[in-house]
Structure 1
Amino acid sequence: MNEMTHRPSIEAPQLRTLLLTDLCDSTTLVERIGDVQAATLFRDHDRLVLDLQQRWRGRLIDRSDGLLLLFERPIDGLGFALDYVRELREMGDARRLELRARAGLHVGEVLTWRNSDEAVQVGAKPLEVEGLAKPMAARLMAMARPGQILLSAVAEPLAHRAARELGERGQHLLWKSHGRWRFKGVPDGQQIYEVGEPGIAPLRMPPNTPKAWRDLPLWRRPAALAAEAAIIAGIGVGVWLITRPAPAIAFNQRDWVVVADLRNLTGQSVLDDSLEQAFRISLEQSRYVNVLSDLKARDTLARMQLKPDTILDRAIASEIALRDGARAVILPTVAEVGGKVRVSAEIIDPHTQTTIYAESTEGVGAESTLTSIDSVTSVLRERLGEQLASIKDDSAPLPTVTTGSLDALRAFGLGQRSLSRGDYNEAQQFFERATALDPKFALAWLGQVRVTFGKEDLNKALMPLREAQKFRDHLAPRERMYLDAWSARFDAPAKAAAKWIELAKVYPDYHPAQGNAALWLYEDNRYEEALPYAKAATSEQYEYIGSNLDILGRLQLATERYADASTSFDRAVALGRQGSLRRQAALSATQRRYDSAEKALQKVSLQDLHGYIEKVSVAVDRADWNQAQKSARIALKMAEEAGGFDARAFLIPAATASWLADDESGARRMARQAAERAILALNDSANPYAEDDAALAIGAALIALRVGDDSVAAKVDKALQRRSSLMVATSLRELSDVMRAARLRAQKKPKEALTLLRPYLTGNERYQTRVVLMHAAADAGEFAEAVEHAQWLQRKRGAAFMELKCGQCLQALNVADSNIAALLEAQFLKRMGKANEANAKLKSFDAWWATEALPSYLRTQRESAVTTSRLGTV
């Protein structure tokens, strides 16, 4: 009876998650570092285990070189295993030791019982665990490789389904099946799985052990294989002659690949960056395969919290592919074998990191590598499913579309790396070095063009552009079209949009084409046409997604898609696009949410010159003339110090603010100054800002006409006649006619003004087109039409803020007119005998701009509206 009272009571079977781990080579480790250091290491190890045990709600059952833990849920056991393997590895790296653990995770029924206090005091464990689940977990752990986490078929689906609970890390775990295995003492085969983090998990087949071995079908066992080899070989040759095998990776047209960093095993450093760029250029000629840019890959590295110069090896490149939606990884290698240079490449499945295809070509000497790359990439493209005819049509030899000089190609590759880091000055130096080594290297000249556009220094873009044009035949087809589109920017602005659209259609996944097509259509006020291109340019595979989200948001704002615009701007800001803070302010002001607008403007850097455009406009929208003038003065001072186009463009918002603040002489002076500077710039036939300067001069003339000065418009009109070639641009021709219509109205010829401008009402008209049409219609007694224009102006406040041309120099004037249109609508309605509607509209205007804040010009207008109101009620 006493014996029975001291026997532990066994609890009913319970379903639990078991995790067994083993610290690899622990005995050897102690011998290597000594007892003292080992004691310190194991003390830190025990602290780590305790911390993880608390974090993942585990119960430690046993510990020696390894651990046995119980968990309520598989996801908790997996979380412990992932953290343990990673943090143990980091602990070892900090000590310059290799600390690796293997782990086995299984779910099953276990029996537990508590030992007596007396037994625990003499060394027994507090809790004993037994059951078939325990040796199953032990088998899994024993067969795992160092750093490997193996799961049973019971544990895997439960853990996989709950992986989202691990947060972002759970979305990027790598899961791999290792097939069926047999365990000693277990009658049925068991499906085994591996899970781990990129760069840590081995993702390799575990080795066979005396207690665990792969369950291979009979036909795959060695004895059967020998008998089958001859038959398979004969059949295989015949089948290959009939048809090539289907790709073993699910790759479709326009899918993406990541090119890993080149493994250069030759010892010749000149091949490092040169051949990596050559692989990219060769693959990018394909319209079937899309290549993730190096800049985008480095951006993804930053999101992975890795350094920009991290080597893109098999594991890291696979992780990038998984994050950015690429279907395959290309791992290029160059080596010297038997006196020859061998160029090879592997196609890797990023999910398993296994090699699907491999291809190699040998040549004599380093100069053979470019031809070898062409040969290798052609085969890879065919392996991925591209038709042979397409490969031939869309490919040109690398020495033809790049350069025969490996030194020049290396300089270009280094320039591309610098460009990807945003270091424009260093990139410029490398691109210049490349063209010095090979003056016919058109791609390097084009690189210099990209640098100057990136620095927004159009004056320096013309020389390298002309050099690239000379050697246009040395570019691949896509880059030729890219060059032609940028050339149109200088030589035929009216055709630029069409060139970008053509490139975007031929290469639908070439995001620079999509983004520039959207931008040029946007500049022409073709907002609805631009939206699909802007959306296409915000693909996750594009490195400049932030800037294109900004363009998308501006188009959405201009078309009154306020919720969509808010989402686009928020995403752009989250990606580091600080300029979108200005757009957020404009979006809020458009909806008259001024507190929100001011909060957004407070986040805009005081050193951001262009942020003052919205600061002036929002102040104008609130009838805060003093603040509008103050912001305009600060911006004008900054622009004068910077020089260039901005120094004259910022005179327009400053003149607008002065006009509204009743400083007509100041407005007149700044309008004249802006026009004179723009006209002087227009006299330079090589001026890259000619179209913007023409729009700027027109804007200055419109401001001057508001204060009764026609002389500025007369001078601008003559200057534009001297540069009549600019008028082929529809948007510029329209603005020019807006200025002429405003002059006709001032000359008491409103009907001629209407005749001149009505043809522009296509849905893409400029904001000031409607403003002048509204005034001219009223002057001509066409009040119904005047009301229609006034209502359009109030409704299209998003377009008032977002309209381009001359660096948005007319934004403040447009915003002012969106409010003034309400006052004028009230006048027009009174003239039409609609007193009640007029009073309601006047009430809205008063809510926006208080009477006491109005400049004398508008106060007179309002008094006229009130007088008309009284007459209308009689």
Structure 2
Amino acid sequence: LGEALEKVRWRTHGRYRFRGVPDPVAVFEVGEEGLAPLKAPPWSSKAHREVPFWRRPATVVIEAVLLVALIAVPLVFFLRPDPAIAFAKRDWVVVGSLHNLTSESVFDDALESALRIGLEQSRYVNVLPDLKVRDTITRMQRDPDETEIDRKVGSEVAIRDGARALILPTIAEIGGRVRITAELVDPQTQTTVYSETADGIGKESILPSLDAINSRLRVRLGEALATVSSESLPLEKVATSNLDALRLYSMAIKAQAVGDIVQANIQLRSALRLDPGFGTARIELATNLLPLGERQEVSEQLHLALASADRLTARHTLYAEALLADFSSPRLAVEKWQALTTAYPDMFRAQGAYAYFLWQYANDFQRAIDVARRNISEQNPNTGIGHYLLGTLLLGAEDFPGAIEQFGEAEKLGAKVQNLMLASTHAAMREFGKIENILAAGKIHGGGSRSIEETVARITFAIDAGDWKTLESLMTTINATDRSLDPASAQTLDDLKLALATLFATTEKNQSLDYPPSKARQAEARNDKNYHARSWNAHLLFRAWAAARSGHVEIAKALLAQMGSEVRDPGFPTLNKLLLLTQSLLDFQSGKHEEALARLQSSIDGKELYATHITLMELLLKRGDYPAARDQARWLASHRGRAYAETTAGDMWLPMNVAQSNIALLVDAECSMHLGDAAQAGKAMADFSKHWPERDLPVPLKERVDRLALDIEKLPAPSAVR
């Protein structure tokens, strides 16, 4: 081959079978690189390479398919995501009715409550309250007492109330073992997303099984396992291992849901006899007793519950501490409710209480409004009351249209209220003709008699409208010695009479007023176990302020000397503010004018009392600082909503505050007269006379009006306006 030898290539292509040749033949190829194909001959019907069966093309394809299947199928089963619901932190679940496949009826209510208590330990998962579920079923035109919360009904409830999931519990006895199953259902499709099961032997295994299921459900819904482990206590501790006690507790909760507090308390006490350490039941009992005025027993029940804090969930511990704080310090109470709402922002019972105490104890309307808005969620079973509270706070913030809108929402939702704050809103707008119909439409919870609050409100409305005849008639019907009145209400009526006397009595009459409370009233306050000591101090401070305001310095000092240490304790902000008012009056009368005025002015922070502006206005008038006094008068006249809504210092201030919102117009006119502003003096005087016509005025006010009219006539006429 010569030089071509270097380009020659030899190839072995293996053994081939030829058609018609019995034995395989070895095939070789010799060729020049670049010219010869140098590759195995193609597979054909006449000849094909001899290979094992498993390496033939058709077999290889089948083998590849099988290999892919063997790899893919396990991957699909092991790596595919579990069916899931788009559940996020603080989303809601509905707990359905227990499907009891055993012969033990004790499980029927007990396990539902145990499941709820376990889930409610979570800060991640929210459980729709039973009362809200009942309300929704009623709106579905079903009987909540007869309707089972099954897959269909529970899904509809969840969709209506914005819940993400439905949990359906089942208990059955299988092969001598007690099996508890909880299915998590997607309400939109009514399909089971997943289920958790736990088995045990005997009744004593039920609560541990529920604990296991609760933990798994919470993890499945997205809560961190570490959080579930660290923040959860066994149900045997936080509930009770006594299933009969747990069943009685469940029955009590159902009785509360229909408003039968008497029956609920009976069942709670029965549960506590079976298990005295059942702290959750004690807290529910204390909650029910609080509106009944049984403060001493409430305190006892809460202390007993907290004495076994290891048997309470973190939520119940904080709740009990917040309730108990009201017995020691208003400021502490506000702080405890704030801590509870921070930890459990969807605990509506806490949100409502926090907003209420910000209003009642801190006089902080704006912050209370922010909290109250969070409380009117669609998941709140008491949304109606939440709307009414928000309306009251908006009244105090001078947002009258917003307040009326919220009161309307409360009425739509069936809130049982006396409509006093709705009537007050229209009164603040001077729409007095609507008040009687509004009060007549009010509902009294429990069907009791009209309250002392309505008596005070009606007197206030009469004063505000300048209806002196109605006021006189109402005052003659007040009987502070009525045996049906509790000491606090009787004292409020006494103080109310004193307030009106200081407002409308002549100078000579003021000298003969009895500013100190009677000995009988003091004895009643000391002997009533439910009469809070700080309420008595608030009454004493009101009388001391009234005495100092009327120039009875020694009487005011004597009243201050009778007061307890609470009035100077920073934990009692309202008492501190009332003391500041009285002390400022006394300092001013002792010649410390600058100090008294500076103290009052520095206390104005948006949470000050309405009476702070009254006191400051009157002292500025005495000082002869007419521009500053007029500013205070205009503040009082423009904050009539605040005058009606502010109750932190007690109901006895209501008629005083509202009356001063009218008298402030007269003060505006007097200050303008002193400043030579005839136009403004005449306008303010006209506004005052429009609301309180001169012919019907009490004598002291009529004398002021007459003097002012003469003084205004002496002023030069205002120049014409081009």
TM-score normalised by structure 1 residue count: 0.69
CA distance in 1, matches of 2:443, 2:255: 26
CA distance in 2, matches of 1:605, 1:658: 32
Relative to structure 1, the CA distance from residue 377 to residue 357 in structure 2 (aligned partners, 3 Å threshold; closer, same or farther) is same
Match of 1:235 in 2: 75
Q: Are 2:686 and 1:843 aligned? A: yes
- Report sequence identity in percent: 33
Q: Are 2:74 and 1:272 aligned? A: no
Matches within 5 A, 1:690-839: 690-704=533-547, 709=552, 713-724=556-567, 726=569, 728-745=571-588, 750-805=593-648, 807-839=650-682
Match of 2:87 in 1: 251
Spell out, residue by residue over 1:556-576, the C-alpha distance to the aligned partner (whole angstroms, 9 max, x if none).
111111111111111112222
Task: State the AA in 1 paired with 2:238.
Answer: V
Match of 1:95 in 2: none
Q: Are 2:422 and 1:579 aligned? A: no
Q: Are 2:310 and 1:473 aligned? A: yes
Spell out, residue by residue over 1:498-547, the C-alpha distance to the aligned partner (whole angstroms, 9 max, x if none).
11111111111111221111111112111111111101111111112122
Count of matched residue pairs = 645
Q: Please, which moves more after superposition, 834-843 or 247-256?
A: 247-256
Shift of 1:667: 9.0
CA distance in 2, matches of 1:633, 1:379: 68
Spell out, residue by residue over 1:386-445, the C-alpha distance to the aligned partner (whole angstroms, 9 max, x if none).
221222232111112122221221121111111111111111111111221112111111
CA distance in 2, matches of 1:534, 1:668: 45
Spell out, residue by residue over 1:255-293, the C-alpha distance to the aligned partner (whole angstroms, 9 max, x if none).
111111222222212222221110001011111111011
Contact map agreement 2:177 2:201 (CA 8 A) in 1: yes
Task: State the AA in 2 paired with 1:608.
Answer: R
Shift of 1:685: 10
Relative to structure 1, the CA distance from residue 464 to residue 314 in structure 2 (aligned partners, 3 Å threshold; closer, same or farther) is same
Match of 2:195 in 1: 358
Contact map agreement 1:710 1:743 (CA 8 A) in 2: yes
CA distance in 2, matches of 1:449, 1:355: 39
Match of 2:231 in 1: 394
Q: Are 2:373 and 1:535 aligned? A: yes
Q: Are 2:491 and 1:648 aligned? A: yes
Q: The residue matched to 1:808 in structure 2 has which SS?
A: coil
Shift of 1:648: 2.1
Contact map agreement 1:675 1:696 (CA 8 A) in 2: no
Q: Are 2:116 and 1:283 aligned? A: no
CA distance in 2, matches of 1:638, 1:680: 13
CA distance in 1, matches of 2:507, 2:480: 20
**Which stretches in structure 2 are left out of the alignment for 5+ residues?**
1-65, 718-722
Match of 1:626 in 2: 469
CA distance in 1, matches of 2:254, 2:683: 61
Relative to structure 1, the CA distance from residue 516 to residue 336 in structure 2 (aligned partners, 3 Å threshold; closer, same or farther) is same
Q: Are 2:394 and 1:551 aligned? A: no
CA distance in 1, matches of 2:468, 2:534: 30
CA distance in 2, matches of 1:236, 1:678: 82
CA distance in 2, matches of 1:335, 1:837: 83
Task: State the AA in 1 paired with 2:389.
Answer: I
Match of 1:301 in 2: 137
Matches within 5 A, 1:24-43: none
Match of 1:376 in 2: 213
Relative to structure 1, the CA distance from residue 595 to residue 556 in structure 2 (aligned partners, 3 Å threshold; closer, same or farther) is same
Relative to structure 1, the CA distance from residue 760 to residue 377 in structure 2 (aligned partners, 3 Å threshold; closer, same or farther) is same
Task: State the AA in 1 paired with 2:450.
Answer: D
Relative to structure 1, the CA distance from residue 552 to residue 664 in structure 2 (aligned partners, 3 Å threshold; closer, same or farther) is farther
Contact map agreement 2:167 2:183 (CA 8 A) in 1: yes
Q: Are 2:501 and 1:501 aligned? A: no
Match of 2:404 in 1: 566
CA distance in 2, matches of 1:534, 1:671: 41
Q: Are 2:705 and 1:862 aligned? A: yes
Task: State the AA in 2 paired with 1:467.
Answer: L
Contact map agreement 1:751 1:780 (CA 8 A) in 2: no
Relative to structure 1, the CA distance from residue 378 to residue 633 in structure 2 (aligned partners, 3 Å threshold; closer, same or farther) is farther
Task: State the AA in 1 paired with 2:464.
Answer: D
CA distance in 1, matches of 2:590, 2:352: 43
Match of 1:608 in 2: 450
Contact map agreement 1:671 1:703 (CA 8 A) in 2: no
Q: Please, which moves more after superposition, 655-664 or 503-512?
A: 655-664
CA distance in 2, matches of 1:849, 1:692: 33
Matches within 5 A, 1:181-200: none
Bigger relative contact order (CA 8 A; separation at least 6)? 2
CA distance in 2, matches of 1:707, 1:777: 16
Relative to structure 1, the CA distance from residue 721 to residue 867 in structure 2 (aligned partners, 3 Å threshold; closer, same or farther) is farther
Spell out, residue by residue over 1:606-662, the C-alpha distance to the aligned partner (whole angstroms, 9 max, x if none).
932132332121111011133234345556569741424223223333444455565
Contact map agreement 2:669 2:682 (CA 8 A) in 1: yes
Contact map agreement 1:655 1:666 (CA 8 A) in 2: no
Contact map agreement 1:625 1:657 (CA 8 A) in 2: no
Task: State the AA in 2 paired with 1:469.
Answer: L
Match of 1:599 in 2: 437
Task: State the AA in 1 paired with 2:413.
Answer: L
Shift of 1:708: 5.6
Q: Please, which moves more after superposition, 676-685 or 350-359?
A: 676-685
Relative to structure 1, the CA distance from residue 371 to residue 666 in structure 2 (aligned partners, 3 Å threshold; closer, same or farther) is farther
Q: Please, which moves more after superposition, 265-274 or 739-748?
A: 739-748
CA distance in 2, matches of 1:314, 1:597: 48
Q: Are 2:282 and 1:442 aligned? A: no
Shift of 1:304: 2.4
CA distance in 1, matches of 2:320, 2:694: 55
Match of 1:77 in 2: none
Relative to structure 1, the CA distance from residue 714 to residue 837 in structure 2 (aligned partners, 3 Å threshold; closer, same or farther) is same
Matches within 5 A, 1:321-332: 321-332=158-169
Q: What RMSD over aligned residues (CA atoms) do the two structures have, in Å?
A: 2.9
Q: Please, which moves more after superposition, 757-766 or 606-615?
A: 606-615
Relative to structure 1, the CA distance from residue 457 to residue 663 in structure 2 (aligned partners, 3 Å threshold; closer, same or farther) is farther
Relative to structure 1, the CA distance from residue 710 to residue 630 in structure 2 (aligned partners, 3 Å threshold; closer, same or farther) is farther
Q: Please, which moves more after superposition, 677-686 or 450-459?
A: 677-686
Spell out, residue by residue over 1:206-238, the C-alpha distance to the aligned partner (whole angstroms, 9 max, x if none).
xxxxxxxxxxxxxxxxxxxx9999766622554
Spell out, residue by residue over 1:237-264, the C-alpha distance to the aligned partner (whole angstroms, 9 max, x if none).
5427xxxx35522221111111112222
TM-score normalised by structure 2 residue count: 0.83
Task: State the AA in 1 paired with 2:426.
Answer: S
Q: The residue matched to 1:334 in structure 2 has which SS?
A: strand
CA distance in 1, matches of 2:321, 2:616: 38
Shift of 1:702: 3.7
CA distance in 2, matches of 1:451, 1:667: 45
Contact map agreement 1:330 1:348 (CA 8 A) in 2: yes
Q: Are 2:257 and 1:420 aligned? A: yes
Contact map agreement 1:277 1:413 (CA 8 A) in 2: yes
Contact map agreement 1:692 1:805 (CA 8 A) in 2: no
Q: The residue matched to 2:562 in structure 1 has which SS?
A: helix
